[in-house]
Amino acid sequence: MRATLKFTNVARSTFFATVRQRADAYFASRQLSRHANATMWAKALFFLGSFGLLYCLILFGSFGPLALLGLAGLLGACCAFIGFNICHDALHHAFSANKRVNRFFSLLFNLIGANPYVWTITHNVVHHTYTNIPGHDEDIEVAPGLVRLSAEEPLRPWQRYQQLYAFPLYGLASLSWVLRKDYVKFFRRKIGEHPTPSHPRREYINLFAYKALYYLLFIVVPLLVLDITWWQFVVGFLVLHFVEGLVLGLVFQLAHVVEGTAFPQPDASGDMQEAWAVHQLRTTANFAPRSALASFLCGGLNRQIEHHLFPNVCHVHYPALSHIVRETAREFGLPYLENPSFAAALRSHYRILHKLGRPAA
């Protein structure tokens, strides 16, 4: 049995106290809310409107098969962007100070195929606490036995080619959510080494009811309305989820599995020998921080460092917080990992896959 993990270096926790104090001062001096502003509400309306438009165009637009395939891919990307920009903030209680608003927007997670309750446990609790710790953070386990993302994992012969086949596997993430992953994690006794709670009865109902609603909207209705063959539907459904899964997978991998990020192990007593906030700096990296397009599409998750330190702050405030975090990290002699562009982060991730697919030098 693994020991319960503890972040024990209290002396280094002064970094987080300092950066949090400076962030508080930033919001107070400008009389700003930590939650959504007008820009955030406009983004939410844009992505939700785009989702509705694309869904209706697919069902009622009278397009040919190739056009429908393109629209399915766009809808998949839109689903990922809704997850990043709206649901993710709502599930972290960062969208609004009003719990009901957060609850409403978190329920939209069901419309992109994922269960918000399961996500809260696997992401908010486990990933944000045990980031990049093998055996604990299941978010870094893309396809156990196929993709090796830590030097602690056993090396298998076929992983020599993982830098080539890993990317198509990322595209299966969304499909796994819809058909398998949520059910498996819901009924497991623990996620990583974190015991799962006794789920409320309403969450059992929500899991199956919202999955049924998703299957109705994305499988039954299209098959009834569209004048296409069953195999054309299957191709379109797979394209939708491949695009959605690839976008979701890449944004996560480029934030945690690039050159410079650590995969630390606890000692025999379960001590991490590091303060939690410093652990976040060592295991997380930003990408394309100066790209307005990346910030708009990724819901600020191109600035994962700021997100991990301030998960309850709406992502529209991350650019301002990044200056505070970067300067404070520099003062404390701590790393602040950053790739200047999406392409640079992608190349770095490719090199990591290539390196981990081969024996250590």
What ranges do the domains of the chain cover?
10-356
CA dihedral 274, 276, 135, 247 (to 10 degrees): -130
Token pair recorded at residue 51 = 């989702």
Q: Is 64 left (phi over 0), alpha (psi -120 to 50) or beta?
A: beta
Please, are residues 169 and 144 in contact by the beta-carbon 8 Å criterion? Answer: no
Q: State which amino acid sits at residue 303.
A: R
Secondary structure string (H, E, C) spanning 6-28: ECCCHHHHHHHHHHHHHHHHHHH
Per-residue model confidence (pLDDT) at position 10? 62
Q: Are strands 194-195 and 285-287 parallel, antiparallel or unpaired?
A: unpaired
Q: State which amino acid sits at residue 110.
A: N
Q: Is 344 left (phi over 0), alpha (psi -120 to 50) or beta?
A: alpha
Q: State which amino acid sits at residue 135.
A: G
pLDDT 10s digit of each residue in the chain, 361 long? Answer: 455 677 766 656 789 999 999 999 999 999 999 999 999 999 999 999 999 999 999 999 889 999 999 999 999 999 999 999 999 999 999 999 999 999 999 999 998 899 999 999 999 888 898 898 887 887 777 777 889 888 878 899 999 999 999 999 999 999 999 999 999 999 988 877 778 878 899 999 999 999 999 999 999 999 999 999 999 999 999 999 999 999 999 999 999 999 999 988 887 777 887 889 999 999 999 999 999 999 999 999 999 999 999 999 999 999 999 999 999 999 999 999 999 999 999 999 999 999 999 987 5
Please, are residues 71 and 54 in contact by the beta-carbon 8 Å criterion? Answer: yes
Residue 41 has φ and ψ, to the nearest 5°, of -65, -35
Per-residue model confidence (pLDDT) at position 11? 59
3-state secondary structure of 71: helix
